[in-house]
Structure 1
């Protein structure tokens, strides 16, 4: 009789440990399973993926049921082990039961199932989802009462479970992409492209525009031959024309329209008036989000807009290409030469044009210079230094050394940038 009872109790203990294995593994798998992958599989008709998606939608209820079931079986297994060992060893059986059950629970009911679940969380989650659904349904009344009690205790300490902060979808995607890049599963180009898409709604056109100091604009009053020559010699398809002063943009000439006019005039440049074939300029506020500007470009079927500040002063221009480059990186054609304003030196440092946008520098060199307070690298140096630097001055911040090579009036026009470990010449 004693032998039969011993073996039955032992079998019951191992059966309960197996159930505990199921609860622990299910909890880890359903928590670690990719919600995005489950959603996509469910949309493609995978019933178990849909079940996983429904279970994880009520995470508190799910975790509560699994923890409740796990604790019940662990306590039952420990109680049985204690009763069996007490009969064999007397009072010392309690100590033996504690040691044996702790080892068994930790190894076979915690570490092993959770490790297996983390190896293949999606497959594990879909495998156990039907059984977990039944467990959640059975324990629903108890878990609901427990959750109410927990929420009451939290409120007594000033916490409100209903107002739990959640990371935004954009932040979660960005974090996932950066993490996968650090793990080597996403190449830098893909990371930059996905990051650029996520940044569109956070950037303003002033962050991506060509600043007026770098913008080509021609005087509409120039002689026709000279004006046409300047337009055709420029590397740009669209060229703004101004009258009296550069802020007074009166039109934009498209090179293709100009060539058509020259053809109609049988090549006689004196008969062509660029100002008359120019189209009306489109002005947009510098606070317009890049996402909104992209949508506006697509809606108007236009590629070019002039950016103005709150006083109506022209600050620069933005093109569809400028916005696309935020996603795909620099678009280089036969008129471009890579990242303009950035030249690598033999000693590992870089000669940088002061007007080079920080975002372009970060993308090209995989740096992480902040661009919240300044748009260009010169602006960043001025912001960090809290003054207008003199030529030859050195500054060190963000693990980089900046040397001012050239300054024109109050503008930094050229710098040498090098990692702190590299000596700047």
Structure 2
């Protein structure tokens, strides 16, 4: 009797299979769209009054329940469509109908209920998520008790295997997720190279310390407070900097910071007679900060103290260098040059793809200039990176290869590497 009914209603059978495949496509596309939708955009749309975006955000807050409901619905309709197709084809072809049903449903489900809807959803996830949000919320409410029971069972089972699936636990930190999103948008053409660097520099402020961007004490421009006031005035006027540390006795003994504008005001007050100046009285008290201070904290300190200049000291109180507000801002926006800045020739590219680099050039500056990705966690300068990787202080002429680059030591002064030639290995292989 059942076989007669099936033979008599082939169009009804086809309609049921098509309906099940349509539901399967709905579940597959909805799951992909909602999990791939931009949460930042959804929150912005919700703040703008879009109720559909609010539904999307509520669904994403219970992500496991959402995915569970979609999987339950998808599997129920797929199994139902396959079972119904099998029974129909068996009634027509006998036992061979099982084979025909398996092949036919595999093709139909993969193409029309999986690949096609997911492709559409992944190309326009935000639009698809907004379109499907309301019906999906009904499905999640319908399957809510079932998904909660399954979720509890899965948690208990995985806990037996010491697998932690705590809610809202993310493998990536918030900054890593933002960085990854910006890099992805850059590769897709949505974010320009300079904007990506600025985003990266802003995120790096928490990870970098002042010792990573400071001007080392060997490069600091300082003035001896023991000089005559006339000599100090000449030193300040010949310097490209507006703030200069004053030392007394030894260069490590910083006793003040002289600001050029304060000196000029004092000089004007004595009618230009430098011999009447008391330079130490004009100088500001030095501000010392630990070398472990993060750039984010130092930036806040600069803003709160309304000053742009600090001296960096190590754990023993020894001066290591100085850091300015400009040094921190350059980590975000790149080099800031004005008409008084000195031109530092530390990186010199060559036509063959190699680069001549002074040993004192910071790794981060070289990466920024050449768009490279040399690590800067273990060493601040290029010379320090080579010494760290080689585990020795190399001599001139020695060559090392690591991180995909060939490092040739050109010059050495005592225990310091003063010049290197760096060539990407890819350029060497291309030349061969």
**Which bracket does the TM-score occupy, shorter chain normalised?**
over 0.9
- Whether 1:371 aligns to 2:367 is no
Which region of structure 1 is more displaced relative to structure 2, 321-330 or 252-261? 252-261
Q: For structure 2, list consecutive stretches of 5 or more residues without a partner in the other structure.
A: none
CA 1:94–1:7 in structure 2 vs 1: closer, same or farther (change >3 Å)?
A: same
- SS for the counterpart of 1:405 is strand
- The aligned residue for residue 138 of structure 2 is 134
Give the CA deviation at 1:105.
1.0
Offset at residue 95 of structure 1 (A): 1.7
Aligned 8 A contact 2:252 2:318 in 1: yes
Deviation, structure 1 residue 338? 5.9
Counterparts of 2:44 and 2:349, CA distance in 1: 44
Partner of 2:297: 292
* Contact persistence 1:392–1:403 (CA under 8 A): yes
- Report 1:17-416 matches (<5 A): 17-162=21-166, 165-336=170-341, 340-416=345-421
Structure 1: how far apart are the matches of 2:155 and 2:149?
10
* Whole-angstrom CA distance in 2 between matches of 1:395 and 1:227: 46
Q: RMSD of aligned C-alpha atoms?
A: 1.8
What is the alpha-carbon distance in structure 2 between the residues aligned to residue 98 and residue 322 of structure 1? Answer: 67
Shift of residue 385 of structure 1? 1.4
Between 257-266 and 118-127, the greater mean CA deviation after superposition: 257-266
Aligned to 2:422: 417
Partner Cα separation in structure 1 for residue 374 and residue 203 of structure 2: 18
Deviates more, 1:293-302 or 1:67-76: 67-76
Q: What is the SS of the residue equivalent to 1:213?
A: helix
Q: Is the 8 A contact 2:6 2:13 kept in 1?
A: no
Q: Which moved more, 1:309-318 or 1:256-265?
A: 256-265
| TM-score (normalizing by structure 1) | 0.95
What is the distance in 2 between the residues matched to 1:405 and 1:270?
A: 48
1:18 is paired with a residue whose SS is helix
> Residues 249 and 128 of structure 1: is their aligned pair in 2 closer, same or farther, counting only changes over 3 Å?
same
Shift of 1:417: 2.2
Pairwise CA distance, 1:335 = 2.2
Pick which of 258-267 and 111-120 moved more.
Answer: 258-267
- Quote the offset at 1:227 in angstroms: 1.5
Question: Does residue 14 of the first structure (1) align with residue 18 of the second (2)?
Answer: yes
Q: Kindly tell me the number of residue pairs found equivalent between the two proteins.
A: 424
Of 316-325 and 253-262, more deviation after overlay is shown by 253-262
Secondary structure of 1:247's aligned partner: coil
Q: Distance in 2 between matches of 1:327 and 1:271?
A: 43
More moved, 337-346 vs 374-383:
337-346
Report the CA distance between 1:313 and its aligned residue. Answer: 0.5
Q: 1:338 to 1:134 in 2, by over 3 A?
A: farther
Decide which moves more: 332-341 or 295-304: 332-341
DSSP-derived class of the 1:334 partner: coil
In the TM superposition, what is the alpha-carbon distance from 1:245 to its structure 2 partner? 0.5
Structure 2 distance, partners of 1:155, 1:175, is 30
